[in-house]
Homo-oligomer: A and B are copies of this chain.
Amino acid sequence: MPSAAGDKLWIIPDGYIPEISSGTLTSHESICVLNTASEDAHLEITIFFEDRDPIEGIAETVPGRRTRHIRTSGLKNNAGEAIPVGVPYAIEVKSDVPIIVQYSRLDSTQAENALMSVMAYPIK
């Protein structure tokens, strides 16, 4: 049977949704998750800011043996709170089964796009 791999708590300190897009690509960020287990992974995402309390309780699911590349601009909790654009923030991803998390950003503020990517930091 396929086995779970990775960790249950991951951190990305540098989150930022660019305000502007130009050229043919849209600026965006993705939280890329792999769930190697056979059961679903239930994520609970918290968003931290510089000058206000965190947005808590954002729920997402990654099915077993699947990846999901989740755009941060679509994240919302039950109260309808979403991440504002153009504001520095940080991301915590909790899961009930071990997963692996990578974060990537495409910035097309200027006509040609720029890319960055990091493996998220696992808390053991």
- List 17 A-B residue pairs with CB atoms under 8 Å apart, sorted by A's residue number: A6-B11, A13-B102, A14-B69, A14-B104, A24-B109, A24-B110, A25-B109, A34-B48, A49-B67, A50-B69, A53-B65, A102-B121, A105-B115, A105-B117, A107-B115, A112-B114, A115-B115
**For residues 65 through 99 of chain A, which have their beta carbon under 8 Å from a beta carbon of chain B?**
65-69, 88-90, 92
Q: Are A117 and B118 in contact (CB under 8 A)?
A: yes
Q: Which A residues contact B (CB, under 8 angstroms)?
A: 5-6, 9, 11-14, 16, 23-25, 30, 32-34, 36, 48-51, 53-54, 65-69, 88-90, 92, 100-102, 104-121, 123
- Give A117 Cβ to nearest chain B Cβ, in Å: 4
